[in-house]
Amino acid sequence: MSEIQASLEAAARFITENEHFLVVNHVNPDGDATGSLLAMGWLLKQLGKQVTLVNEGTTPDKFMFLPGAMGIENADAVKEVTSHDVVITCDCADFSRVGRVEDWFAEGYHLLNIDHHPTNDLFGTVNLVRVDAAATAEVIFDLIQHMEVELTQELATCLYTGLLTDTGGFRYSNTTPHVMQAASSLLSHGVAPGAIAERVLEAITKPHLELLKRALQTLEFTDEDQVASMTVTLADMRETGAAGEDTEGLVNYARNVEGIEVGILYKEVPDGKIKVSMRSRSQVDVAAIATAFGGGGHVRASGCTIHGSIEEAKKRVEEKVSEALQEAGRRG
Ligand code: AMP
Ligand code: MN
Ligand code: MN
């Protein structure tokens, strides 16, 4: 049996051998995290299991159209925590990504870790981690095939949304033949591609637009115009009425400038911390840089959180980015 088959088998066993599941995705969930969480919910319910779906905070508005999204619990809003001993994490590169949902885990819990980040540190009792997958939704698609579970329209819609968002609308280099085969199969199970793309890729909120106007004014080019960075402060968030999800995609404006290798967004968050989002074009491994600051992600898209002011975070990150650019230059 190949390693992939063995991990699919172990994950299938984890599911069949247990009855009550707590399923969690990462803090500040994106389309893949939300789609994967909901897909696991539908899969488990189809198998007659009891399921609780939870996130540390609220699910972004733009994913509330997904079937089952109303049923995701907001850990922040729940006063009485119930503990669970069987847990499944979706799209979490490391344990800390579950955030405060950690308080919902019983002592001696068993955990199935389903993910696709190369920086995943295999924190599960069982790990279904495929770094060649574009999205956690793709890994779950394979698990569903492996378990010979029927693809319903609900499942297909959730999985398709994960694939669509983590491939940037089937544009990034992670858009493999397997991604397209999976998408094709999902489309034949009732997915409405136009409506989903409209909702999760095309539609922009007014606060997002206001933030973009401000962020563009902070755009700064360094390292001989190989790096472009932007900043968003707490005041910007407050004054534009933006929610956390409204900063999503801003970093691409920096990264997409012709000739730029690394695009960075420094976003001030509460408690004296800066959330750093990094995107690279073709040479710099931004996952390695994020990992150096306790974060993680993918070679071309990563993130981390740094204590201090925007200026301090900038100084520390830019030093590492400059080193990485010099290293890439030496490699040619
Ligand atoms: P973002 O810049 O938040 O859109 O994140 C880009 C990628 O990096 C996504 O795949 C995230 O899952 C991952 N990522 C972001 N922040 C972290 C973090 N603190 N730890 C691990 N992975 C992260
Ligand atoms: Mn994610
Ligand atoms: Mn993902």
Spatial neighbors of 223 by CB under 8 A, at least 6 apart, are: 262, 318, 321, 322, 325
Helix, coil or strand: residue 16: helix
What is the SS3 string spanning 148-205?
Answer: CCCCCHHHHHHHHHHHHHHCCCCCCCCCCHHHHHHHHHHHCCCCCHHHHHHHHHHCCC
Best of 28, 138, 302 for a ligand 1 pocket test (most atoms within 8 Å of beta carbon): 302
Domains and CATH numbers, the chain: 3-202 (3.90.1640.10), 206-331 (3.10.310.30)
Phi, psi dihedrals of residue 100, rounded to the nearest 5°: -75, -5
CA 162 – ligand 3 centroid, Å: 7
Task: Determine which residue's CA is closest to atom 2 belonging to ligand 1.
Answer: 277
**What letter would DSSP give residue 128?**
E
Query: What's the pLDDT score for residue 297?
Result: 96
User: Residue-wise over 255-277: b if at least 16 C-beta within 10 A, else e?
Assistant: beeeebbbbbbbbbeeeeebbbb
pLDDT value of position 6: 97
List beta partners, residue 169. Answer: none
Query: How deeply is 70 buried, as exposed, middle or buried, from its count of CB atoms within 10 A (0-12, 13-18, 19+)?
Result: exposed
State residue 332's pLDDT score: 74
Longest dimension (CA), the chain: 58
CB 57 within 8 A of CB 245: no
| Residue with CA nearest ligand 1 atom 18 | 295
Does 25 sit in the ligand 1 pocket, CB within 6 Å?
A: no
Closest-lying ligand 1 atom to the alpha carbon of residue 91: 12
Cα–ligand 3 centroid distance for 32 (angstroms): 5
Ligand nearest to the CA of 140: 3
* Ligand 1 in reach of 62 Cβ (< 6 A): no
Instruction: Confirm or reject: Cβ of 33 under 6 Å from ligand 1.
Output: no
Instruction: Give the closest residue to 98 by CA, choosing from 23, 22, 24, 20.
Output: 24
Helix (H) or strand (E) holding 320: helix 310-331
- Three-state DSSP class for residue 19: coil
Sites in the chain below the pLDDT cut of 70: none
The pLDDT assigned to 102 comes to 98
Distance CA 241, CA 239 (A): 6
For residue 28, give the ligand 1 atom closest to its CA. 3
Distance 196 CA to ligand 1 centre (A): 23
pLDDT for 331 equals 82
Q: Atom 20 in ligand 1: which residue has the minimum CA distance?
A: 295
